[in-house]
Structure 1
Amino acid sequence: MTIIKVNDVSQFRQWVNKYFKSKGLPAKEKYPEEEAVVNDYVNRGLVYFVLDFVEISSEARFIEPVAYRFKSKELYYPLKTSNTFGGQGSIELIIIAPTTLCFPGNEPIDPYSGALHKEVHPEAQRPYGQRPLCLNLPVKASTSALLVKEEKDLNGIYPGGEDFFKDKKAYIQVVSYTGKYFFKDDIFVDVSTGLQREAGAVEEKKDEQWGGVFASLDDAAQKKCSLKPQRGPCKGMFERYYYDPVSKTCKSFIWGGCEGVVPFETEEECKKCLEDGEKGK
């Protein structure tokens, strides 16, 4: 792995050719796509580049990821580098931030694009290619969940995360993009503009046994009491809770750490369904 500082694109070209020759790779007189991307970053004051040399074999395998740590007030992720190879594909980001940045589903955080609004206004159900932007991209976002630092939730995901966030809350959310690898901008978002809480999913259809009456609960709380738990695709091990209307008890389940459905973070929150259910009889 090599880190270089680029002040001039022509010097970058010379360095790349020397590097390629040292690796037994063919050199070129020009690299128009790559040079255009490098020039764009240099003009924006981003002059440090990392080259990771990876030998590719005929067997499918995982490549060891590269971790970058740098000081920034904004969430940053480079996208324009993908323009060099083009084509189509998917980008999936697991975001851990002090706020929730995207509304679950295919909408950004917007009071007029939430689940309740879409029930009344079907025109808000837009196809993928017409999604409004979140992180400046037409993305699909999972629900978000609070990582409980006291329970060491961060350790398995991001070692040292507790020191990084200190006294701030940390929310985890998965955001995915599928489409052309051609981007006008990088992801550069002020995390303070996000939602200062979790953003959960609301099921539109429920079995009758999950539609119990909780007369003294507000609408949002009633829906949480009716949510079915879903582990999600990630392989984490986080204990969360849900209300079982059949046994009328709060039960625990294992949440994987992304997507899925988490009705309650703690058993105490879940027990409010029991208390208010009794009042509603």
Structure 2
Amino acid sequence: MRRLPVSKTILGLVALAVLLFCVNPLPARADMGIILPEPVRVEEPGQTAFIAFNGREEVLLLGTDVKVARATTALQFTPFPSPPKVALAPDDAFARLQELLTAHHVFYWKTTKGAGSPEATLGESEPAAVLSHQKLGLHDVTVVEVKDAARFAAWVQDYFRKQGWPARALSAEEKATVADYCRRGFRYFVIDRVELKETLSSVPPLTFRFQTPALYYPLKVTNLFGGEGEAQLIVCGGERILNRLPVFLAQTVPGPPWWQESTRTAVAPRELAQVAPGAEKLFAGEQEFQAFRYRGKLSFCADLWAENQALFWIGKAYYEAGGRRYSMDAAPYVSGGRTYVPVRYLAYALGVPEEGVRWDGAAQTVSLRKGDVTLRLKLGSPLLERQAGTGPSVSLVMDVAPEMRSDRVFLPARYVAAGLGYSAVWDPATQQVTLAPGEIAWVEELVFDPNPVEPDKGLSILVRTSGPASRPVVRLIGAGGSAEPNEYWRQADKITLSPGGPGEWVAGFLPPGQVGVYPAEVTVEGLTFTAGNWLLKVCPEGFLNQPGYATPEEAVRARFAQDFKGCSLREIEERPLLPDDRRDPRYHKLFLITFYQPYDGPVLPAGTHIYFYYIIKDGPAGLWCVAGGGTGP
């Protein structure tokens, strides 16, 4: 049988500019774990897979390229959520896939930013059960079912003994990887015996067909290889699945670099049959077709598990997620018209790992971390704080608050689900809550942008959301009740914004009103958001957008830390205002600073520099702010 040449590649394209691309082919490789009978350095510099998914069943095409320090025999293993049917794919399957990508002009064009399934409670351990064993060309494939890592290790040791290989216990990392999959309900492992060579070894690809409630691809198993590499997924499925796939891919990596998306096209079932026979049977008509690529460290924090739904029932001490049932030690209930669910199980159902759930008894706070998103809640408080990566923290104003019952913390399911990108649907007939991935438009930023030259002329307002949203409304608390004879503030305590760029809403230049400090709230799609620094400051000179400080020196230090990250402040010296500055009522003080910059920046080279700041006092609040600055002599 003809081997798949290493030169047969999948098309990869990176955007250089709008509609300008360069071709960058990738070798066809697959994502598997590997067990060696003796210590040998292994490299898996990349992986590529084709996935066809119809919401109930998946066909996965995998090919393998692995390089070792010296020739050896190895066991490659891949975990699955249900027993897979394994078949030999056409030798040139990846070449055909490349032809399909080329024919449909598929290009990579942007980077997406933006979890594994929950942990199960396992019953009594059972021995590994061999479900099938077959010779497929050069493959020697066994499908086993195991309930825990110990039984998996016992099966591997027994296999080594039967092959006459030296006995070897699994490493701690190998055991931890298998245990992680078993805890999450992935009990079925395809184990393939392969011969590896010092050169890049290529094995004819296999197809796996299996039942799954979610589009699945095992990424965490790649962590056994370590190092850096590439992962590329070519996915065929419904528009709804592909629209949400970037959200789930972003949760597989702890931070940049992110996954890249390609352009999308439509393919007919007959075209899929040329790549992975059997994939065409999943669909009745044309389906969406798109590629996703990651380049960076092979250290994934989650598998790809998309379209995961979670079901809870009032009064029932169990829930379902990913088609599996899990036990709880407390049952959901309804209070204040909202469904409350035990925090730990709600977190697991929404893909939060066990280590991502934290309870601070002293502060009475709960934190949930999934990928780069962190949620924080406090018992009795209606605020749900959300932070994405190192971005600003924004709080959702809930109409209920977390509660403690029978020494268990319960959270309002709808709002916590929204913070992690899920929607909640309530069925009063069955007393069931369904949590499903959804397009939740969380407000991520509110910016008041004064006219930088003439702040008395007005300002613009910008709202950024995490996804597509209906028109937001900004409410300035206290503005509508102003006694100032200014019709704008009387009538426009609520400001409706207009569409700006992607995920952005804006309001044009607005005139100043009564002097004061006005906290702001943003309401979008029935949810209200706020943040501690959402303050519109109006002083006699116009609008101020900077935070205020008790002393001018504090204002200087804070602005320096913002403007010159990684630099050392050597000296702060107050200077008299220049004659021209004294004629400008906005400026009250002038400070000269000396600092050291250890790197070459876009404006200043490495070395010691002098910079000046103008300081203004916010009369109504009595606080000091930086009004401007520049380089000094």
TM-score normalised by length of structure 2: 0.24
Confirm or deny that 1:95 pairs with 2:215.
Answer: no
C-alpha distance in 1, partners of 2:261/2:164? 43
Of the candidates 148, 159, 169, which is equivalent to residue 268 of structure 2? 148
Q: 1:21-42, CA deviations, whole angstroms, 9 ceiling, x for partnerless residues?
A: 3334433334211110111111
Q: 1:132-175, CA deviations, whole angstroms, 9 ceiling, x for partnerless residues?
A: 954644211211110134xx3222223233321124x4111111
Amino acid at match of 1:157: V
The residue aligned with 1:57 is 197
Q: 1:87-113, CA deviations, whole angstroms, 9 ceiling, x for partnerless residues?
A: 21111111111127269xxx948xxxx
Distance 1:66 1:3, change over 3 A: same
Given that 2:252 and 2:300 are in contact with CA atoms closer than 8 Å, whether structure 1 keeps it comes out as: no
Shift of 1:64: 1.7
* Bigger shift: residues 94-103 or 137-146: 94-103
Given that 2:251 and 2:302 are in contact with CA atoms closer than 8 Å, whether structure 1 keeps it comes out as: no
Confirm or deny that 1:19 pairs with 2:159.
Answer: yes
Structure 1: gaps spanning 5 or more residues: 110-131, 196-281
C-alpha distance in 2, partners of 1:11/1:136? 28
C-alpha distance in 2, partners of 1:133/1:6? 27
Given that 1:102 and 1:134 are in contact with CA atoms closer than 8 Å, whether structure 2 keeps it comes out as: no
The residue aligned with 1:158 is 276
Shift of 1:69: 0.9
Of the candidates 190, 202, 214, which is equivalent to residue 307 of structure 2? 190
For the residue of structure 2 that corresponds to 1:45, the secondary structure is coil
Distance 1:91 1:102, change over 3 A: farther
Distance 1:71 1:133, change over 3 A: closer
For the residue of structure 1 that corresponds to 2:208, the secondary structure is coil
The residue aligned with 1:6 is 146
Given that 1:147 and 1:154 are in contact with CA atoms closer than 8 Å, whether structure 2 keeps it comes out as: yes
Given that 1:135 and 1:189 are in contact with CA atoms closer than 8 Å, whether structure 2 keeps it comes out as: no
The residue aligned with 1:34 is 174
The residue aligned with 2:226 is 86
Name which structure has the greater RCO, CA cutoff 8 Å, separation 6+. 1
C-alpha distance in 1, partners of 2:174/2:188? 15
The alignment-based identity, stated in percent, is 35
Q: 1:159-193, CA deviations, whole angstroms, 9 ceiling, x for partnerless residues?
A: 233321124x4111111111112112110112997
Given that 2:260 and 2:293 are in contact with CA atoms closer than 8 Å, whether structure 1 keeps it comes out as: yes
Distance 1:133 1:81, change over 3 A: closer
For the residue of structure 1 that corresponds to 2:296, the secondary structure is strand
Pairing 1:160-239 to 2, within 5 Å after superposition = 160-167=278-285, 169-190=286-307
Q: Higher strand fraction: Structure 1 or Structure 2?
A: 2
Amino acid at match of 1:162: E
Distance 1:188 1:175, change over 3 A: same
For the residue of structure 2 that corresponds to 1:67, the secondary structure is strand
The residue aligned with 1:273 is none
Q: Tell which structure's C-alpha radius of gyration is larger.
A: 2
Pairing 1:60-139 to 2, within 5 Å after superposition = 60-99=200-239, 101=242, 108=246, 134=250, 136-137=252-253, 138-139=258-259
Given that 2:236 and 2:289 are in contact with CA atoms closer than 8 Å, whether structure 1 keeps it comes out as: yes
The residue aligned with 1:228 is none
**Superposition RMSD in Å:** 3.0
Q: 1:57-92, CA deviations, whole angstroms, 9 ceiling, x for partnerless residues?
A: 234342122221111232100111112222211111
Distance 1:108 1:18, change over 3 A: closer
Given that 1:3 and 1:49 are in contact with CA atoms closer than 8 Å, whether structure 2 keeps it comes out as: yes
Given that 2:242 and 2:288 are in contact with CA atoms closer than 8 Å, whether structure 1 keeps it comes out as: no
C-alpha distance in 1, partners of 2:200/2:157? 28
Q: How many residues align?
A: 167
Given that 1:95 and 1:174 are in contact with CA atoms closer than 8 Å, whether structure 2 keeps it comes out as: yes
Given that 1:95 and 1:172 are in contact with CA atoms closer than 8 Å, whether structure 2 keeps it comes out as: yes
For the residue of structure 2 that corresponds to 1:26, the secondary structure is coil
Amino acid at match of 1:159: P
C-alpha distance in 2, partners of 1:94/1:194? 22
C-alpha distance in 2, partners of 1:31/1:171? 42
* Bigger shift: residues 137-146 or 55-64: 55-64
C-alpha distance in 2, partners of 1:133/1:79? 10
Structure 2: gaps spanning 5 or more residues: 1-140, 309-435, 440-633
Q: Higher helix fraction: Structure 1 or Structure 2?
A: 1
Amino acid at match of 2:276: Y
Amino acid at match of 1:179: G
For the residue of structure 2 that corresponds to 1:70, the secondary structure is strand
For the residue of structure 2 that corresponds to 1:91, the secondary structure is strand
C-alpha distance in 1, partners of 2:275/2:438? 21
Distance 1:179 1:23, change over 3 A: farther
